[in-house]
Structure 1
Amino acid sequence: MPYIFSGLITKIVTRGMGQKNSRLYGGAPRPSAHQLIFLLASSQKIMNHHLVSFILKSMILPLLSRDDPLLFDYNVEQRVNDFVAAALAQANVTRTNHIMFTMGTDFKYQYAESWFRQMDKLIHYVNKDGRVNALYSTPSIYTDAKFSTNEPWPLKTNDFFPYADNPNAYWTGYFTSRPALKRYVRMMSGYYLAARQLEFFIGRSKSGSTTDSLGDALALAQHHDAVTGTEKQHVANDYAKRLSIGYKKAEELVSTSLGCLSESGSNSRCSSPTTKFVQCPLLNITYCPPSEMNLSQGKSLVVLVYNSLGWKREDVLRIPVMSDSIVVHDSEGREIESQLLPIANASSHLRDRHVKAYLGTSPAASPKFWVAFPASVAPLGFSTYFISIGKRSASISSTSTLNSQGSESRNLQVGQGRLKLQYDAAGALSQYSDSKTQVEANFEQKYKYYLGQDGSGDDPQASGAYIFRPKGVVPIKTDGQVPPTILRGPILDEVHQQINPWIYQITRVYKGKDYVETEFIVGPIPVDDENGKELSTEIITSMATNKTFYTDSSGRDFIKRVRDYRSEWKIEVNQPVAGNYYPINLGIYVEDGSKELSILVDRSVGGSSIKDGQIELMLHRRLLNDDGRGVAEALDEKVCLDDQCEGLVIEGKYYLKIDPQGDGARWRRTFGQELYSPLLLAFAEKDGGNWGNSHVSSFSGMDPTYSLPENVALLTLEELEDGSVLLRLAHLYEAGEHKDLSAPASVDLKRVFPDKKIG
């Protein structure tokens, strides 16, 4: 006889085998309202179609008051038959004699008592009928029951994306919805990782600041209606507020930890350092009060740079400064090469408006330059740099403008190192070349927006927080508009472009880097024409990619995607764009047998390859209609200042690289970890004196001669409440992903923790 079970029990009840079920739940308590409920039916085969709505609407709800035989609409026998039929239908296509029905949805459990009363009755009458056995269960009990049968199981390596619940309703819009919140969650995740490491180095406090509040806020933000962007606006505000509160508490811990480590250089417990380090969470919009200090009369800005990776790291830092007479020294007192770049007006406007909107005060003064300089930091350690006013100043970037008449040559090349980009006379990107790998490729980068369907017409489905349903695409042309501005210097080149009144772009090529960095400032997206818009950028090449591209799975494995195709079932795609969009948490790439084009992102976005040789990323969405999936309001984010509200402006980056075939994985994995775990910057003031006499200018928590293998990442280093330490490492590569780095790796924990006892 097949069995069905549902809920919180410790033992599977098997009726008809000498046991009597004298209690409704097999002696187990009823689950609480927030726990999933499962109904499991026993048979030999598994099913893959969805019965939740059928069970909820047709069986459970009508049982509330219709089990009295004296009632005219008594329906117990009918509902039991329906349930048994559904269970057997599923069991007939299921391996083993156990099946699962998940009960309820996120809209239903407000009325938990009503739900459980109805399910109690269903379980009671189904079991009384005797054809199947139903009981409350849990995911672990269900899994144990499946596992105990010793059945062989197929390995599934793909997923069900993109999901749709009707032909014009693909749930691919939420991959990008609320891009600012998505970025905030990503930024705080990296900060949390670094903060827990620093907490470990100085010892977890029992009474002072901890990282717990930030961890709680980040955990809450992983809810399926949080980081996804499918919540109401006031709820999104609450998630952001909780992250901010958590950050402020973790910030105190980080400041204390860095002060202690820089003053003692040891791992001894410390709670009150004399040096106060300040951090700049709004550095991305050029707001950093400590760097705006007056550096005259012998004062210097101390920049402490912490690396949370298990590898030595070299990067280029950019700090906003007030003066053009800047000099940068390293911890040994040596002057290092630096470069000044004027801050764009678009960045300054973003800073002025958003600082006042979010902090309630206007910045006292605006920095005029970024100072860029190289930094080198040991694994799990920090380095210190000093910015001051000096006679020898940082190199000021040379500035030129490209226009159709050609104030420069008709074809402009930027890049001081191995990587070079070429622009045509109209200011459009036209070629990528890497002198080391000998890769050359012609490509374009463009913007476009999709008009959001408003729900009018035969199908009322609108584009909204969940659903991406375009009703047309509008290319954004840049020809004849503001000509690009080129900034050149010894460390990096920048190309500034005002794409249109609400899109500003900066393309950077670093002398010592082998990838392209593109920064975008987008918004407010105009909706004066009463059309919602969904903005995408696209990279267009001549690569023959045969409908195939690859996107990451939760930032780890990459999954092969084929346009308009699913490997396990035949699909008809009614929405050729939305029906081929996928979530991109780390990156996306295409290949043509000779080279790979990879793009990595700084937050989760939606993206695709809609045509061969093309990659597109959706960067921002502003819509005027609700899509009917529960948000009950349009995705129209605004920032209000002085009683005037404008659409949300976002700032972000994506990164591009073209490699010979088979070599792209190394960059995607290594640089991907740098994106997840950015350098943590903290600032202090040095007023004369010798910093080295009272401070340690460099530190590493690992053996100074050791670093983790290139294919191993440090995911967690945390001291727990009981004093034990949680260490989580990950091998970054899939089998066969890289000819060398997919091989097994070993880690010497004694060198990772040279001053700790490993039990």
Structure 2
Amino acid sequence: MRTRFSLQLLALIVTLVQCKSNCGYQSCHPIKDGYINVHLIPHSHDDVGWVKTVDQFYYGTNNFDYRASVQTIYDNVLKAVQKNKQRRFIYVESAFFWKWWQEQNESERNQLQQLVNSGQIEFAGGGWSMNDEAVVNYQSVIDQMSWGLKKLNDSFGDCGRPKAGWQIDPFGHSNEMASIFAGLGYDGVILGRIDYEDKSIRLENRSMEMVWRGSRSLGRQTDIFTTTLYNHYDAPAGFCFDILCEDSNLVDDPYSPEYNIDVKAEEFISEHIKDSIKSFQTNNVIVPMGRDFAYQEAETWFRNIDKLIKYINNHETFEGKKYNLLYSTPSCYIAAVQKQSKGILTSPLKLDDFFPYATDPHAYWTGYYTSRPTLKRYERLGNNFLQVCKQLFALAHLPSEFEPRLDSLREAMGVMQHHDAITGTEKETVAYDYARLLHIGINDCENVTSEALSYFTNIEANDFNTCLLTNISQCALTETHDKFVVTVYNPLSRLVSKYVRLPVNGNSFSITGPDGNNVHSQILPTPIGIMNIPSGRQTSASLELIFEAQDIPPLGFKSFYVQKKNGDDVTREDLSLDFSYFNGKGVGFTIDPSTGLVDSLEMNNVLLELEQKFWFYNGSDSFMDFSSKPSGAYVFRPDTLSPIKKVSDTAAFEVYRGDLVTEVRQTFSEYVSQTVRIYANEKFVEFDWVIGPIKTEMNWPSNGKEVISRFTTSLNSESTFYTDSNGRELMKRQRNQRPSWNVTVLENESSNYYPVTSKILIRDEEANLEFAVLTDRAEGGSSLADGEIELMLLRSCVTDDQFGVNEALMEVAYDLPIVARGSHYVTLGNIESEPTIASIENEIATQKLLDSWIFLSVPTETTFADYEKAHPMQFSGLKKSLPQNVHIMTLEPWTKSSYLLRLEHVFEIEQDSTLSEPVTVDLKQDLFTSFELKSIRETTLGANQWLKDNKRLNFKSAFQSDEEDLSKTKRSNALNNEFSVELKPMEIRTFIVEVVSKL
């Protein structure tokens, strides 16, 4: 028995050693010199929701809408790949992998493990979903990539680690995503969709392959090999073999009357390969062999590919050229290009992004930047709460049994990043399901945060509540209790102050802070636009209580004891004839009383004439123009005859002026209202808008309505504006121009729209002025005339734009068109000043992305004194605030004995004379209050490989010098000493830290 056991153990060790040595580039089939090497990539593009929900796609239900079953794909691919060691296949979305993996027994898991270890199955991309790149925030992308990669790492080790991005379906591509892929340690990324005109030019000048620089600030360390598929991601026409296809199988029996392999092979080469090689820089051509939800009949696919490879490789020569077909993967293709090109690509270094994306001169996919704005806002809240949840879990050192509840929100947020989720390009029933998943995830994470707060405050965990309906001024706890406690948690790494705003039934309240002092408050009537929401609002509250929670500690909280009292402190309407409104920081605006519109803005010692109005685009329905796409979930296309109209030239308004907040409440129409607001200590003017319900005429022909907010100034912006890239670096935009080619503009509005994840701004260089609008969610935006900024808020489209959703974008809630509420935060200042306007904008964006979170509880004690004695009312997770340009981006449990810690520099190079300098953070053992660091090791961005072990394939544009930017872009040392970390502008560094609890 002992001998048999020893032999089994030895065999296992040998197998493990072999597995480790067989995956990776050594598992790639060899290419042949002097041949055109055709890399066939068997793949299935499996949307994590779209026209069916995630579960419907996985289990294969609701096949009336789409015949797809992802579990069947996994089952059948597993069997088919095992039949032939030459076969290859790639998986992409870890959400579906993990769902399947959880259902398998040990035998199936071992089979997949062996195929991964041998390199026959490779994971490409590897995120929880194939994320969008336009309307996602960088934090959420990194989170979902890291979570997917962690599952692959835990399941397969090194052999499960992706080496390439596979972004074949997102509708445009961002610089920040390129930077993220480089940070993940990937050797390249494969794209599927770029602008039709850009692609045509690249096909002509052999620049389908390029080196793409993701970050101006980080330079060459974010360079990544990039290629675009020759003909989208579907298999070549005539070579699709599945239940969703109608192409004939290949027959290679020469005695059969159905024999067709010779004709089909000739067709494959002459129609799909011969011309494509002219567009690439080496003798390697990448050919996807798949489509949406392909390989439900996996053996059929592989049998046909086997025959095609065998026939062509046996004949080799077609029209005087030699061809070598091989099963391949994205990483094997990238390695082959690197080998033959010696890492030097002749195309120019790409510095810009791939927005906007158009499929023809009249189909710009710029509508999805705004589609389903309430879901986009819900996703942003989900990210906010996920960071809070992860931090509190780590700070309280909660036991591992709480982690499944944290995972629930991690995975819901991962699904939300999918390119048919946050984009709003899904069926309405699927959008409801996404919201359902996110709701469950938030509820589950509330159990985590409540348990952590219970530990710190000595309050029962189930006594903590959050109120997510305060956006419609509804919160049962604050409306029905005469006393309650507001606990404000700050997820940022420095002190912040937060204006708390809660619906109440009561005209007077006392608020006591942790120091026992009274906190000044203000009570305002609920805005009429909120009161008039036609359905869904279930509250009797008509007042809102406002107070400032000052100096909330970093990664910490303060609690405030609120009690109703007798009196009447409600702020009444101001009927004075003074139409200028300012706070104590010199921030203010004026109203033209004849129109009710804002007519000037003042802050940072700058006065600017400003007009803000609402307009709506008449969305084209393509009536009598069936060759062009109408406005829909993806496409924004105004009607050619009557593109845009004003909602109104005037607004009825009322004023509420107070010590904490002053508000001008405007009503433009029955479906558009707005509150223009300044808080006492803020450095921005808030434009809080409420749009809807939009009533659309359904008679034919008819137009939809796409509502925008437009800011018009006197600034000379010279056709130039700037938008952020996924919440990070600014991208320069020029009207009717593209940095890479001379664009043909036939759609003036939609061709100049860009994704605005957090900020859009214009500059007047001569006047040294900058005007910016920051958003609370992703929106489409532009500057269609000098001095103007516009942002699209809500879309109602009467027809489908014919890109697969098969229903019009007409959102409904409670059987009525939806109502959307959101905020724009407007700033103004000198470009060269101290503090810089850029630093002010960064601070606002950071605080709005990771806002302080409000937890509510009902005290059992009758007085504040009794409550204070029984419960700690403040806590800080850090001993001191970090510098303004540094943020603890991630703090979360990673293994039973370690945390994942990310630090980021939040300023760009040359953005600020001081804050754009490198900074060193000392992570000494006394930085965190509830634990100390035992050890620290740096990883790649996705935390799935030690940084020292990551060796990326080197690519360079022939136009680059070897020394270019090396002084600025060389990666920081892993660690200056054991716990000291240097960060350069825009740098994100990731660590696995072992911790010892101090609790």
* TM-score, normalised relative to structure 2: 0.67
Q: How does 1:202-601 map to 2 (within 5 A)?
A: 202-208=396-402, 210-263=405-458, 273=460, 276-295=463-482, 300-350=483-533, 353-355=535-537, 362-363=538-539, 365-390=540-565, 396-401=570-575, 408-409=577-578, 411-425=579-593, 426-434=595-603, 437-458=604-625, 459-471=627-639, 472-479=642-649, 483-528=652-697, 530-593=702-765, 594-601=768-775
Query: Offset of 1:461 from its aligned partner?
Result: 1.9
Structure 2 residue matching 1:388: 3-state secondary structure:
strand
Between 1:341-350 and 1:498-507, the stretch displaced more is: 341-350
**Cα distance 1:619–1:306, how it changes in 2: closer, same or farther (>3 A)?**
same
- 1:392-451 deviations in whole A, cap 9, x for unaligned? 87x5434125xxxxx625x544545411101112211111112xx321111110111111
Give the conservation status (yes or no) of the 8 Å contact 1:33–1:109: no
Counterparts of 1:486 and 1:305, CA distance in 2 = 29
Q: 1:31 aligns with which of 89, 92, 117?
A: 89
Go from structure 1 to structure 2 and tell me whether the alpha carbon gap of 1:657 and 1:53 turns closer, same or farther (over 3 Å shift): closer
Cα distance in 1 for partners of 2:415, 2:257 equals: 46
**Cα distance, 1:91 vs structure 2:** 4.2
Stretch of structure 1 that moved more, 230-239 or 338-347: 338-347
Distance 1:105 1:675, change over 3 A: farther
Q: 1:118 to 1:75 in 2, by over 3 A?
A: closer
CA contact (8 A) 1:63 1:75 kept: no
Give the equivalent residue in structure 2 for 1:165.
359
Aligned to 2:799: 625
Cα offset, 1:607, TM superposition: 0.7
Identity %: 32
- State the Cα distance separating 1:107 from its structure 2 match: 6.1
Matches within 5 A, 1:124-203: 124-130=310-316, 131-147=322-338, 150-152=342-344, 155-203=349-397
1:620, CA displacement in angstroms?
0.4
Distance 1:45 1:566, change over 3 A: closer
Residue 882 of structure 2 is aligned to residue 697 of structure 1: no
In the alignment, does 2:27 pair up with 1:10?
A: yes
- With 452-461 and 672-681 compared, the bigger mean Cα shift is at 452-461
Assess if the C-alpha contact under 8 Å between 1:33 and 1:112 holds in 2: no
CA distance in 1, matches of 2:650, 2:912: 45
* SS in structure 1 of the partner of residue 419 of structure 2: coil
- Residue deviations 1:673-705, cap 9 Å, x none? 1111111111112231422212111111111xx
SS in 1 for 2:602: strand
Q: What is the identity, as a one-letter code, of the residue corresponding to 1:430?
A: D
Contact 2:621 2:798 in 1 (8 A): yes
Cα distance in 2, alignment partners of residues 479 and 284 from structure 1: 27
Decide which structure has greater helix share: 2
- Aligned-residue offset at 1:632: 0.7
- The alpha-carbon deviation at position 371 of structure 1 amounts to 2.6
Structure-1 residue corresponding to 2:920: 746
> Size of the alignment, in residue pairs?
712
1:181 Cα deviation after fit: 0.8
For 2:623 and 2:342, the matched residues in 1 are separated by 53
TM-aligned CA deviation for residue 11 of structure 1 = 2.4
Q: Does 1:64 align with 2:249?
A: yes
CA contact (8 A) 2:250 2:261 kept: no
Moved more, 90-99 or 739-748: 90-99
- The alpha-carbon distance between structure 1 residues 125 and 172, as it changes in their structure 2 partners (threshold 3 A), is farther
Instruction: Give the C-alpha shift of residue 647 in structure 1.
Output: 0.3
Residue 669 (1) aligns with residue 727 (2): no
CA shift at 1:261, angstroms?
Answer: 1.3
Q: In the TM superposition, what is the alpha-carbon distance from 1:14 to its structure 2 partner?
A: 2.9
Cα displacement (A) at 1:108: 4.9
Letter in 1 for 2:810: D
2:260 paired with 1:74: yes
* Stretches of structure 1 lacking an aligned partner (at least 5 in a row): 1-6, 264-271, 356-361, 402-406
**Letter matched to residue 320 of structure 1:** P
Distance 1:476 1:415, change over 3 A: farther
Q: 1:753 Cα shift?
A: 2.6
Flag the 1:46–1:428 CA change in 2: closer, same or farther, 3 A. Answer: closer
Q: Any conservation in 2 of the 1:320–1:367 contact (CA below 8 Å)?
A: yes
Query: Within 5 Å, which residues of 2 pair with 1:728-739?
Result: 728-739=902-913
Taking the aligned partners of 1:29 and 1:156, their CA distance within structure 2 comes to 34
SS where residue 353 of structure 1 aligns?
Answer: coil
* Distance (whole Å) between structure 1 residues aligned to residue 416 and residue 804 of structure 2: 18
Where does structure 2 lack aligned partners over 5 or more consecutive residues?
1-23, 40-80, 93-122, 125-165, 169-188, 191-204, 210-227, 241-246, 317-321, 936-999
Separation in 2, partners of 1:103, 1:469: 33
Match of 1:211, SS? helix
Query: How far has the Cα of 1:713 moved from its partner?
Result: 2.1
The 1-side partners of 2:344 and 2:710 are apart by: 44
Find the counterpart in structure 2 of residue 647 from structure 1.
Answer: 817
- The answer to whether the 8 Å contact 2:781/2:790 transfers is yes
CA distance in 1, matches of 2:233, 2:589: 57
TM-superposed CA distance for 1:370, in Å, is 2.9
Q: Is the 8 A contact 2:525 2:542 kept in 1?
A: no
Quote the offset at 1:150 in angstroms: 4.3
Partners of 2:885 and 2:905 within 8 A in 1: yes
DSSP-derived class of the 2:448 partner: helix
Counterpart in the other structure of 1:358: none
Cα distance between partner residues in 2 of 1:384 and 1:446: 40
For 1:325 and 1:89, the matched residues in 2 are separated by 77
Task: Name the amino acid aligned to 1:203.
Answer: H
Q: CA shift at 1:463, angstroms?
A: 1.1
CA distance in 2, matches of 1:496, 1:330: 30
Q: Which amino acid letter does the alignment assign opposite residue 366 of structure 1? A: A
Kept in 1, the 8 Å contact 2:508–2:523? The answer is: no
Alpha carbons of 1:262 and 1:45: their partners in 2 closer, same or farther (altered >3 Å)? same
**Cα distance, 1:578 vs structure 2:** 0.6
Could you tell me how far apart the structure 2 residues matched to 1:567 and 1:192 are? 37
Q: How far apart, in 2, do the equivalents of 1:732 and 1:55 lie?
A: 39
Distance of 2:636 and 2:773 partners within structure 1:
22
Q: Deviations over 1:274-326 (max 9, x none)?
A: 6721111112111112211331xxxx311100001111111211122211111
What CA RMSD, in Å, does the superposition of the two structures yield over aligned residues? 3.1
| d(CA) in 1 for partners of 2:313, 2:82 | 9
Please give the alpha-carbon distance, in whole angstroms, between the structure 1 residues aligned to 2:921 and 2:875: 21
1:63 deviates by 6.1
